[in-house]
Amino acid sequence: MYVQLHTSRIDDSLSGTTAITCFMDGNIIHIANVGDSRAVIAKTDAAGIVASPLSVDQTPYRTDERDRVKRYGARVLTMDQLEGITPIHENWATAVNEEVDEDGDPPRVWSPTGNFPGTAFTRSIGDEIAESLGVFATPEIASLQLTSNDRYVIIASDGVFEFLTNQAVVDIVKTYDNPLEACEKVVAESYRLWLHYELRTDDITIICIYLEHAVVPETAESTQRLASQQANDLLTTNILNTRVTEQRPVRRGMSKQKRRDQMKKDMAKMVTDEDLNYNMSDHVVAKSKLEMDKILEITAANWLFKQLNAQQRTDVYKVMIRVNVNEGDVVIRQGDPGDHFYCVQSGDYQVTVKSESTTGQREDIVHMYRGDTHPSFGELALMHNAPRSSSVVALTKGVLWAIDCRAFRLVFMKSPTNVIVQTLKKVDVLKSLTTSQLERLATKLTEITFEDGDYILNQGTIGDTFYVIKEGACICTMWDTAPGEGERRSREVLRLRQHQYFGERALFNDAPRAANVISVGRTKLLQIGRQTFEEILGPLQQIIDNDRAQREAKHLFQSAVSNLRDSTAIAIAAAAGTQDRSTLKDDVLRGAVVPKYVTQSTEVGLLVTYETFSHVPLTVRTISKKSTKSFNKMEEVMREVHLHKNLRTNCRVASVPPLLGTWTDANGLYMAFETNLVCDFATLMTDHDAKLPEEAVRQYAAQLLVGLESLHDAGYVYRNMNPENLVLDTFGYLQLHDFRYVVALFFVLWTYGGKTLPS
């Protein structure tokens, strides 16, 4: 492979790539690594979810790697050592494990005859000159047996770990149930930090693998296979155990102070006075409502726009420029400076790259953009502050929307930071909110400024606004005497600083303020009123009540899990009439059934979705005996159980999940269904970010109609139709839930309306 690469038209003399791969063989994971990309596994232990490395960066920080390239004749020096600014030493491996590299000047591999190639890694694919100095492509391989404590595997390029430690990445990932959303947040945070410290970014690529499944029980065969593999893996036995303390994030740039000085020079070269004073309101381009709607449509799936709140997106939309193109128009020319990136409304576009070959210059087609998917292109030049690396030519007539480089950076850098979200997490009354809800809340905070001595709050007055201190400080005072009882004196009771908060009780009710809050110096606050809060997330008290209900449901849920695994009379085990049920029976009896999440909680119980090792879908309806008796619902519950058993025996009804079996214990009654129910319509209707298109609503209405007709044909009337009882499965199909009020069509039915008793 190396010979083919070196003899091809690709100039790899000073260019190459690192690589890391993950292969999962049952419950054994294998990692092969070349360079400084990284694999991390997140494990649950007494301290919480902690990061543990699956690979060790192959860099000159490692003594073994440093000695190896030196045997090939390489010099290992930092940039400052190369330039004679600092003395030569090799103590880089001191206390470097999980610390972010504040110095920012890593040791590099240099030729003994010149200041090249300067790679900050000791293994790569390509890099022909560096290869002669020992920078080769032989991977280090590690193997590990997964356990029930393993939660996530994260594979990412070094650009992710430039400013984020392993644990910092895990801390972001663990707050999201969706791996795609977790990846987007890590990329966004890495990108934000790059733009904060640099005028460019490095490659930022990440893959998250969630391991929320039943782990295969360890067998003699798997143990022998793992032992055999580990015996051949030098990394597993030697590197992970002895070299992990020599791993650290590797910077490609200078130290922070040198970078700040260089940034000033670069900005002076590339940014004009107009750029520095860029005001988005001065660049607004008038657009019709139809055009604004079209821009919203074509940017809906763009990850960059997903990081902005509604107001920020609107600000960007206002400055976007419509570009009409004809066939053959050159939109981007290779080598030109990058000043815009483009979102495609319509048209097809071809990407070409010019390169030098032995026969002269050639131009290769490397990609095609199709207008029907509304892609975007050109953003890499903006991120990396580099000339265009390719040309883009219109193949057909089309429409593009261009975004100015300055607007792009301005709005992205103003995205809400994790600092604000972390502050909101500390507010007691907001602890019931999810990370996504806190992020939505952070985007709605507005800024207000107070001067020294200004009263922000007055004791005794009614308020409805919550505040977070963005910059500055405040003091809290209380009056010693009531109004009208002589001279009023106040005393300081508390001092608040940056990123602290006050006024949170106002999000509940109109209670009087408990103290005065006074600005000390110039203070900038982030504020939100109760009305805005409720428009975004709903009433806070309702959120807290729902959270309490979920916690109570989870407590009952743990009991259900225990009884599901321990019961010998479970109906699932007896109902082994099909291959799926027989497989599910084996899963249950050996404990290979993992609770996924609580889909819904009701007055009498909850709906729990499970994940099984055999991938047979399973949802269990848990009905509390205590709650059923308290609410006098026993007759309704038994009617529901009887109905499901009849349907299972006599017919199969569309939109009704098939019953696998039932069982009871001292706490409750359990019904197992052969499906995975994940979300009810009530949740979708209250989620502002999940608006269903008309086509989807029509589809679900048709599914509901078919389900009701099927029930009627089977001789039953479903009389409990509301959004909470219309549930979606993992395939997006509608399922009817809660059959307590279903009745048979064997007699005349009627329903009373109005008061049941005369007044």
The reported pLDDT for the residue numbered 9 is: 64
Question: Is the pLDDT higher at 325 or at 591?
Answer: 325
The reported pLDDT for the residue numbered 262 is: 47
* Predicted model pTM: 0.42
Question: Is the pLDDT higher at 67 or at 387?
Answer: 67
Q: What is the mean pLDDT of residues 102-107?
A: 68
The reported pLDDT for the residue numbered 640 is: 85
The reported pLDDT for the residue numbered 518 is: 94
Question: Residue 474: which pLDDT band, with cuts at 50, 70 and 90?
Answer: very high
- Taking the C-alpha atoms of residue 467 and residue 469, their distance in angstroms, rounded to an integer, is 7
Question: Residue 575: which pLDDT band, with cuts at 50, 70 and 90?
Answer: very low
pLDDT for 421-445, tens place per residue? 777 777 777 777 777 678 778 877 8
The reported pLDDT for the residue numbered 102 is: 47
Cβ atoms of residues 609 and 622 within 8 Å = no
Q: What is the mean pLDDT of residues 347-351?
A: 92
What does the buried/exposed string (b/e) look like for 486-496 if buried means 16 or more CB atoms within 10 Å of the residue's CB?
Answer: eeeebeeeeeb
Mean pLDDT estimate for the chain: 76
How many angstroms from the chain centroid is the CA of residue 233? 33
- Taking the C-alpha atoms of residue 157 and residue 476, their distance in angstroms, rounded to an integer, is 47
The C-alpha angle 462, 467, 472, rounded to 5 degrees, equals 125
Question: Residue 265: which pLDDT band, with cuts at 50, 70 and 90?
Answer: very low
Q: What is the CA radius of gyration of the chain?
A: 31
Portions of the chain given CATH number 1.10.510.10: 541-744
The reported pLDDT for the residue numbered 245 is: 47
Portions of the chain given CATH number 3.60.40.10: 2-246
Peptide bond into 117 cis (omega under 30): yes
Portions of the chain given CATH number 2.60.120.10: 276-413, 421-538
The reported pLDDT for the residue numbered 228 is: 58
The reported pLDDT for the residue numbered 755 is: 45
For residue 199, pLDDT over 90 is answered with no
Question: Residue 535: which pLDDT band, with cuts at 50, 70 and 90?
Answer: confident
Q: What letter would DSSP give residue 6?
A: H
Q: What is the mean pLDDT of residues 57-71?
A: 89
Percent of the chain with pLDDT over 90: 16
For residue 307, pLDDT over 70 is answered with no
pLDDT for 629-663, tens place per residue? 888 888 888 888 888 888 777 677 778 888 888 88
- Nearest residue to 611 via CA among 587, 579, 581: 587
Q: What is the mean pLDDT of residues 508-524?
A: 87
Q: What string of H, E and C letters represents the secondary structure of 299-350?
A: HCCCHHHHCCCHHHHHHHHHHCEEEEECCCCEEECCCCCCCEEEEEEECCEE
- Taking the C-alpha atoms of residue 330 and residue 339, their distance in angstroms, rounded to an integer, is 15
Architecture of the CATH domain 2-246: 4-Layer Sandwich (3.60)
User: In whole angstroms, how far apart are CA 453 and each of 185, 456, 483?
Assistant: 40, 9, 21
Q: What is the CATH number of domain 421-538?
A: 2.60.120.10
User: In whole angstroms, how far apart are CA 611 and each of 84, 552, 591?
Assistant: 60, 22, 11
For residue 582, pLDDT over 70 is answered with no
The reported pLDDT for the residue numbered 632 is: 83
The reported pLDDT for the residue numbered 32 is: 93
The reported pLDDT for the residue numbered 94 is: 45
User: In whole angstroms, how far apart are CA 327 and each of 204, 331, 342, 348, 394?
Assistant: 34, 11, 17, 9, 5
pLDDT for 119-133, tens place per residue? 889 999 888 888 888
Give the strands of the sheet with 659-664, arranged side by side.
593-601, 605-612, 618-624, 668-673, 659-664
For residue 267, pLDDT over 60 is answered with no
CATH number assigned to the domain with residue range 541-744, chosen from the 4 options 1.10.510.10, 3.40.50.720, 3.40.50.1400, 1.10.1270.20: 1.10.510.10
pLDDT for 212-252, tens place per residue? 754 455 556 656 655 655 554 444 444 455 444 445 544 43
- Taking the C-alpha atoms of residue 40 and residue 665, their distance in angstroms, rounded to an integer, is 42
For residue 570, pLDDT over 60 is answered with no
Architecture of the CATH domain 276-413: Sandwich (2.60)
pLDDT for 33-46, tens place per residue? 999 899 999 998 88
The reported pLDDT for the residue numbered 269 is: 44
Q: Which helix (H) or strand (E) holds 692?
A: none
